Chain A
Amino acid sequence: MIFQDVIFYIFATILVVSALGVITARNPVYSALLLVLAFVTCAGLWLLLEAEFLAITLVLVYVGAVMVLFLFVVMMLDINLDRLREGFWKWFPFGSLIALVIVAEIAMVVMGKDFGLEQMPAPEPQAADYSNTKALGRLIYTEYVYAFELAAVLLLVAMVAAIALTLRQREDKKSPNPSKQVRVKKEDRLRMVAMPSEKKK
């Protein structure tokens, strides 16, 4: 399929360029936005692989929720770019060492003998009524149910921990409590006093 190849190379180019932009952009807001672009093009690549559920979930979760909060934080921070770049050359050898290790690891996986088109030919294209979502749901809730539940519990624990770490109760805060306001009754605030009417002297 020449047409799909053309689309793949367009998406792949945008993906690589935007991913490079994420680490080279001077403005952190541009970095975050380029990361959003990288996610969206990645979702496009996944669509080419007929993984429509994962592609849409990638957009929904990472682009629609995670990156919004990221962008939020980045815009609120007052980052001094010069101070951020101060230690660049000092840490460059260490950073490049780590990068080399990662590249070597990826190369060992991708160029290994169990990986490649001979070992794993492209799967047959599915029929139009094939539901990716249903197939994924069947697998997750039958074969991989323990792993799935474990991951869910892990996320829940992380969420509870994050809330517990950042929750502080201030005694002197003056912000109104809406549920308290809604529950207020007339008797709580109004006291009727019986008193004789005064007479003019």
Chain B
Amino acid sequence: MMESIQQQFEQIFGAEWGGMLFSLATNMTFIFAIVVPLLLGVAYLTFAERKIIAYMQIRVGPNRVTFFGIPWLRGWGQPIADAVKAIMKEIIIPTGANKFLFILAPVLTIMPALAAWAVVPFSPEVVLADINAGLLYILAMTSMGIYGVIIAGWASNSKYAFLGAMRSAAQVVSYELAMGFALVCVLMMSQSLNLGDIVNGQQGGSMLNWYLIPLFPMFLVYLISGVAETNRAPFDVAEGESEIVAGFHVDYSGMAFTVFFLAEYSNMILMATLTAIMFLGGWLPPLDIAPLNMIPGFLWLLFKVAFVLFFFLWFRATFPRYRYDQIMRLGWKIFIPITLVWIVVIGAIMQLPDSIRDMPPLNIWF
């Protein structure tokens, strides 16, 4: 099927250009197959957030909008209704704003949030770009997301927006370091930067083989840094509504604001997916026995991602907001030393003679 289409392309456009255009067309199809479910996931993540936090606070949450009047779907139409509302609203550009950068900022925020998904493996075979330096690529892409925030803060020509952008930039740059060092531990264990190889390195029959156990401190550092990196509560000083209204996107309205919102939530899903891939065994079942390994790997990954995302929502419902100097202290004085020590510990274990490393429990992981 695919080959016959490729031959068609090559007949029309010539051998070289036909092949290029064919791979372009297939890649575009794959990209749509990733981005459309992702955006739907974002929409329903907002719904899940409102419902879960509502039940944690003994409320009901959104329970009105439904599809075709079906009673048991009450509330499930809410994200669709919200999207329609956002599209209909006017985008107001403040008089003193820099128009070009004001419009560019949300684009620069959503671009890396979606581009990072190119190397994420969904099951052993399903990945858009199976590149060697996948982990580095994701780090590079997520580190570019900060530009949208800074530019939005500056282009709005507003003190609140600028303050929010500065807070956010300083916070993201700080936590990126701790996050990078935590990932160094993962790649020392797996000896590969390829995300598929990292999951395969956790194979071995049970969840004891997952990097969660030997790298447990790194798992905590990564999870908390992920919350800080996405500017979520309790690290949401960048948009602290009691101090600076809404931070960097205070002057945005309508679809421009929604794009920031989409980027934040797709970054959350990305962080959860990376945590699942690097520490919770990706698509591997917790026990390699009959009923569990019959479930397709994709569903296991989905389940683990949902599990980590629940933590994100749980944190928001539970913790009060950190003060700014406390955030900086946690990042620089606690997380970075922990990660540096753990890199040395993992390196030391890897240098032990084989006779010691073959003893249980070390032989499970090294």
Interface core residue of B133, B140, B333 (most chain A CB under 10 Å): B140
Instruction: Give the interface segment out of B146-154, B238-246, B300-308.
Output: B146-154
Given contacts A64-B176, A68-B147, A72-B150, contact A132 B132 (CB under 8 A): yes
Chain B interface mostly: helix
Q: Decide yes or no whether B137 CB sits under 8 A from chain A.
A: yes
Range, interface on chain A: 20 to 34
Given contacts A3-B17, A175-B325, contact A60 B139 (CB under 8 A): yes
Chain A proximity mask over B139-175: 1 for CB below 8 Å, otherwise 0: 1100110110011001000000010001001000100
B20 touches A3 (CB 8 A): yes
Residue numbers in A under 8 Å from B140 (CB-CB): 56-57, 59-60, 63-64
Which of the residues A1, A63, A75 comes within 8 Å of B143, measured between beta carbons?
Answer: A63
**24 A-B pairs with C-beta separation under 8 A:** A52-B131, A52-B133, A56-B133, A57-B140, A59-B140, A59-B143, A59-B144, A63-B140, A64-B139, A64-B176, A65-B143, A68-B147, A68-B150, A68-B169, A69-B173, A71-B150, A129-B132, A131-B132, A132-B133, A133-B133, A178-B323, A178-B325, A178-B329, A179-B333
Q: Decide yes or no whether A53 CB sits under 8 A from chain B.
A: yes
Distance, CA A65 to CA B132, complexed state (A):
23
Distance, CA A69 to CA B143, complexed state (A):
13
A2 touches B137 (CB 8 A): no
Q: Decide yes or no whether A123 CB sits under 8 A from chain B.
A: no
Chain B interface residues (CB < 8 Å from chain A):
16-17, 20, 101, 131-133, 136-137, 139-140, 143-144, 146-147, 150-151, 154, 162, 166, 169, 173, 176, 193, 323, 325-326, 329, 333
**Closest Cβ neighbor of B21 among chain A residues:** A3
Q: Decide yes or no whether A36 CB sits under 8 A from chain B.
A: yes
Q: Decide yes or no whether A176 CB sits under 8 A from chain B.
A: yes
Distance, CA A3 to CA B21, complexed state (A):
10
B198 to nearest A CB, angstroms? 14
B335 to nearest A CB, angstroms? 14
Distance, CA A7 to CA B105, complexed state (A):
26
Residue numbers in A under 8 Å from B326 (CB-CB): 178
Which of the residues B101, B139, B146 comes within 8 Å of A68, measured between beta carbons?
Answer: B146
Interface core residue of B20, B132, B150 (most chain A CB under 10 Å): B132
Q: Decide yes or no whether A29 CB sits under 8 A from chain B.
A: yes
Distance, CA A159 to CA B16, complexed state (A):
51
Distance, CA A130 to CA B194, complexed state (A):
12
Distance, CA A50 to CA B193, complexed state (A):
16
A72 touches B166 (CB 8 A): yes
**Closest Cβ neighbor of B177 among chain A residues:** A65
Interface core residue of A1, A68, A71 (most chain B CB under 10 Å): A68
Chain B proximity mask over A41-79: 1 for CB below 8 Å, otherwise 0: 000000000001100110110011100110110010000
Distance, CA A60 to CA B173, complexed state (A):
11
**Closest Cβ neighbor of A130 among chain B residues:** B132
Residue numbers in A under 8 Å from B173 (CB-CB): 65, 68-69
A98 to nearest B CB, angstroms? 32
B155 to nearest A CB, angstroms? 9
Residue numbers in A under 8 Å from B325 (CB-CB): 175-176, 178
B136 to nearest A CB, angstroms? 5
Given contacts A52-B131, A53-B133, A56-B140, contact A2 B150 (CB under 8 A): no
Distance, CA A130 to CA B154, complexed state (A):
43
